[in-house]
Amino acid sequence: MIEKENSKWETATVGGGCFWCLEVVYQQQPGVKKVVSGYAGGHDPDPDYQSVCQGRTGHAEVIQITYDPELISYEDLLNLFWQAHDPTTLNRQGNDVGTQYRSILLYHDHAQRDAALKSRDMAQARFGGGIVTEIVPIQAFFPAEAYHRDYYLRNPSQPYCAFVIRPKLEKLGLKS
């Protein structure tokens, strides 16, 4: 996408299971400039994939989205968030189990907090009221190791990509 002059990019941070799954979903959205997989929501000041997976850091696998609010709104990003994962399962998405796979929205300002709370309340009806998604302020974001970035795009035939991510993309009507 060609960046418009004087464009004001904004940032959103979300987690809903494995960051590989969400990364490719958001990369396909018009108005999204960049998606970076990483870690947030925990206490460790220097997390890495191994320590996050072992549950020692308190961090969740998340993605940080840089987007143009003139082309896609934060509310649109939230609507996609509710569709792209199951926000009713505590610390789990499918076979991925652990606090690092929890459903979490990390807001960057009061407007995002208010929008996230409103969006969650609206999604409650669709999910029968059992949403367990955390909605918390972002304290820090730690980019994941380079081999996690663009994972699906670089490894579409890897078994996890083929059997977990591809069906998710098809369900959402996105390119697989």
Q: How far apart are CA 2 and CA 165, in angstroms?
A: 28
pLDDT in tens, 44-103: 999 999 999 999 999 999 999 999 999 999 999 999 999 999 999 999 998 899 999 999
Q: How far apart are CA 46 and CA 12, in angstroms?
A: 21
Q: How far apart are CA 79 and CA 85, in angstroms?
A: 11
Q: Is residue 91 part of a domain?
A: yes
User: Which CATH number goes with the domain that contains 44?
Assistant: 3.30.1060.10
Mean pLDDT for all residues in the chain: 94
Q: Which of 18, 21, 53, 161 is catalytic?
A: 18
What percent of the chain lies above the pLDDT cut of 90?
90
- Taking residues 158-168, report their average pLDDT: 94
What is the extent of the structural domain holding 125? 10-171
**Backbone phi, then psi, for 60, in 5-degree steps?**
-105, 155
Q: Is residue 4 part of a domain?
A: no
Write down the pLDDT at residue 176.
84
Q: Is residue 5 part of a domain?
A: no
Q: Is residue 36 part of a domain?
A: yes
Q: Is residue 2 part of a domain?
A: no
Q: Find the length of the chain.
A: 176
Q: Is residue 66 part of a domain?
A: yes
pLDDT in tens, 82-95: 999 999 999 999 88
**In the structure, what pLDDT confidence band is assigned to residue 129 with cuts at 50, 70 and 90?**
confident
Residue 34, token pair as written in the block: 């960049």
Q: Is residue 3 part of a domain?
A: no
Confidence (pTM)? 0.93
Q: Is residue 164 part of a domain?
A: yes
Lowest mean pLDDT among 96-105, 124-133, 160-169: 124-133
Counted domains in the chain:
1
Catalytic site includes residue 18: yes
